[in-house]
Chain A
Amino acid sequence: EPEVTQTPSHQVTQMGQEVILRCVPISNHLYFYWYRQILGQKVEFLVSFYNNEISEKSEIFDDQFSVERPDGSNFTLKIRSTKLEDSAMYFCASRTGQTQGETQYFGPGTRLLVL
């Protein structure tokens, strides 16, 4: 069964460093998402992406964040200058886009720790 995959599974970085989190969505999916979950808190929406552009972004997704689909398979989240409060689990999700509101399938996540 097709799955969303994410790399790396864990990333430790120093405050101020740039990180790139990578996702490979399910192959026939057209809509892509990033969410994050700070330890002990709820899953929060960051950004949605369709047709090579951002469709919607949350207040969390400020100028330090960017997303890209550099080729036909990868979908990346870049944090330019990490802060301590960026420490969280980051989930990528995708859906086909055949109908509105349909199921989003989540990847296993990347746990980011900023020291």
Chain B
Amino acid sequence: EDKVVQSPLSLVVHEGDTVTLNCSYEVTNFRSLLWYKQEKKAPTFLFMLTSSGIEKKSGRLSSILDKKELFSILNITATQTGDSAVYLCAVAGTASKLTFGTGTRLQVTL
């Protein structure tokens, strides 16, 4: 059975801090790993990673995948209160269905 584990489960930081969110996985027929941000309702897409060692970057967010060790990290630098959300890691396997982790709840305080 495919499995995705995220850590930490929750995190409270001050605005301006840098955070690292972790995602490890076990999946048959790995196709890609995706990060989503979930604020109130729908998960909104952040990154898709398919190759090891290639960093994806968007503004203050970046992510990298290690296919040998089966994990990914999501970094957020200079956090802002608008970054407060649940960050979901998902892996696409057979038939490209997504298996999600439980998410990391990030709260950024002033």
Chain B residues whose C-beta falls within 8 Å of the C-beta of A103 in the assembled complex:
34, 45, 48
Residues of A within 8 A of B42 (CB): 91, 106-109
**Which residue on A lies nearest to B94, using beta carbons?**
A56
Q: Are A109 and B96 in contact (CB under 8 A)?
A: no
CB < 8 Å neighbour of A101 from B36, B43, B50, B103: B50
Contacts of B94 in A (CB 8 A): 56
When the two chains form their complex, are residues A101 and B41 in contact, meaning their CB atoms are under 8 A apart? Answer: no
In this assembly, does B88 line the interface, its C-beta being within 8 Å of a C-beta of chain A?
A: yes
Cβ < 8 Å to A, chain B residues 19-34: 30-32, 34
Any A CB within 8 A of the CB of B68: no
Residues of A within 8 Å of B, CB-based: how many? 26
Asked if A75 is an interface residue, CB under 8 A from chain B, the answer is no
Q: Does B102 contact A (CB under 8 A)?
A: yes
Main SS of chain A's interface residues?
Answer: strand
Contact status of A105 and B45, CB under 8 A, knowing A42-B102, A43-B88, A100-B31: yes
**Interface residues in B56-87 (C-beta closer than 8 Å to A):** none
Q: How many A-B residue pairs have CB under 8 A?
A: 64
Picked from B30, B48, B97, B103, the residue with its CB within 8 Å of the CB of A45 is B97
CA distance A41 to B95 in the complex (A): 23
Name the residue on B nearest A105 (C-beta). B45
Q: Which of A35, A100, A107, A108 contacts B96 (CB 8 A)?
A: A100
Residues in chain A near residue B31, CB distance under 8 A: 100-101
A104 to B45 alpha-carbon distance, docked (Å): 8
B43 and A106 contacting across the interface, CB-CB below 8 Å? yes
Chain A residues with Cβ below 8 Å from B96 are: 31, 48, 95, 100-102, 104
Instruction: State whether A108 touches B41 (Cβ < 8 A).
Output: yes
Identify the B interface with A (CB < 8 A): 30-32, 34, 36, 41-45, 48, 50, 88, 90, 92, 94-103
Q: Footprint of B on A, CB under 8 Å?
A: 31, 33, 35, 41-45, 48, 55-56, 58, 89, 91, 93, 95, 100-109
